[in-house]
């Protein structure tokens, strides 16, 4: 036996790299063997399993026997209250045109004679506004983020051109819409459209 050990020691002294590798392998094998023996005895694994078992049993201890999983989740879920919102006070999609027309028709005549006088008065206002609008000429329009229109008016005896944008007033008319070759004006609740005259082909 001593001769065998001496032979191994002589070989280790001759090749120290192999000896170091062999020693490391023996050390790893020893550690794995000790670890397998300790885990097989059940000490650490049982100690680790006991808290897990207690943690799983804790939530079920407070749950009544008759409750299902869905009922338990419903009890833990926060309750939400839904309140109905009242409807808007007016129709948001009703056109402004219709509102202006209703207001103009709903105003009572100064004579107090009733609906017939009111109808005649509104017809007279429309005719007068259309006559005034006939003196205006649309020369050009420019669309974009802020569209504009070049309108020529003959107020005061001479024709002059002016640039108007949405919402601006021109000879008592307010510009309410600008499109390509068309502008829409409003005066006293009456709307009129003026188109640009284009040469015929």
Range of the domain at 2: 1-37
Answer yes or no: is 79 within a domain.
no
Answer yes or no: is 61 within a domain.
no
Answer yes or no: is 126 within a domain.
yes
pLDDT at 186: 92
Answer yes or no: is 176 within a domain.
yes
Answer yes or no: is 52 within a domain.
no
Average pLDDT over residues 99-103: 43
pLDDT higher than 70, residue 169: yes
Answer yes or no: is 64 within a domain.
no
Q: At what angle do helices 2-14 and 16-40 cross, to 10 degrees?
A: 120
Answer yes or no: is 81 within a domain.
no
- pLDDT band per the 50, 70, 90 thresholds, residue 100: very low
Work out how many domains the chain is built from and give that number: 2
Question: Domain containing 158 — which CATH number?
Answer: 2.30.30.830
């Amino acid at each position: 036996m001593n001769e065998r050990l001496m032979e191994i020691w002589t070989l280790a002294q001759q090749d120290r790299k192999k000896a170091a590798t062999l020693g490391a392998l023996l050390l790893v094998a020893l550690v794995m063997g000790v670890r397998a023996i300790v885990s097989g005895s059940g000490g650490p694994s049982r100690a680790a399993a006991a808290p897990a078992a207690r943690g799983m049993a804790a939530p079920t201890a407070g749950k009544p026997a008759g409750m299902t999983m869905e009922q338990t989740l419903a009890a833990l879920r926060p309750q939400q209250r839904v309140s109905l919102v009242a409807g808007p006070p007016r129709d948001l999609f009703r056109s402004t045109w219709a509102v202006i027309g209703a207001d103009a028709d709903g105003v009572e005549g100064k004579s107090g004679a009733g609906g017939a006088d009111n109808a005649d008065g509104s017809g007279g206002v429309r005719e007068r506004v259309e006559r005034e609008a006939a003196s205006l000429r649309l020369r050009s329009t420019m669309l974009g983020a802020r569209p504009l229109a070049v309108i020529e008016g003959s107020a005061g005896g001479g024709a002059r051109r002016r640039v108007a944008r949405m919402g601006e007033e021109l000879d008592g008319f307010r510009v309410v819409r600008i499109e390509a070759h068309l502008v829409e004006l409003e005066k006293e609740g009456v709307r009129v459209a003026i188109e640009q005259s284009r040469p015929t082909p």
